[in-house]
Amino acid sequence: MKESPPPRCRPDWALFLDLDGTLLEIAETPAEVRISARLQAALPRLRDELDGALAIVSGRSLAVIDQLLAPLRLPVAGVHGAERRDAAGTVHTATATSGLARARRSLATFVARHPRLLLEDKDTALALHFRRAPELERAARAAVAEALAASSTSSFELQEGKRVLEIKPRNASKGDAIARFMREPPFAGRVPAFVGDDRSDEAGFAVVNGLSGCSIKVGLGGSSLARWRLPDVDRVLDWLEASAPRNERA
**232 given a catalytic annotation:** no
Please list the residue range(s) of the chain that carry CATH number 3.30.70.1020. Answer: 98-169
Alpha carbons 108 and 237: distance in angstroms, whole number: 37
13-94+172-243: CATH superfamily: HAD superfamily/HAD-like (3.40.50.1000)
Render 152-173 in DSSP notation, one character per residue.
TSSSEEEEEETTEEEEEETT--
DSSP state of 20: B
Distance CA(231)–CA(61), nearest Å, equals 26
- What distance in Å separates the CA atoms of residue 111 and residue 50, rounded to the nearest whole number? 44
In this prediction, residue 233 carries a pLDDT of: 96
Q: What is the pLDDT of residue 247?
A: 45
What 3 state SS string does 91-121 have? EEECCCCHHHHHHHHHHHHHHHHCCCCEEEE
Catalytic site residue from 12, 18, 66, 123? 18
What pLDDT was estimated at residue 250? 35
Task: Give me the pLDDT at residue 245, please.
Answer: 62
Give just the sign of the alpha carbon dihedral 73, 76, 82, 86: positive
CATH 3.40.50.1000 positions along the chain are 13-94+172-243
Q: What are the per-10-residue average pLDDT scores of the chain (250 residues)?
A: 79 96 90 92 95 96 94 96 96 79 92 94 92 95 92 84 90 94 98 95 97 95 92 96 61
The answer regarding whether domain 98-169 maps to CATH 3.30.70.1020 reads yes
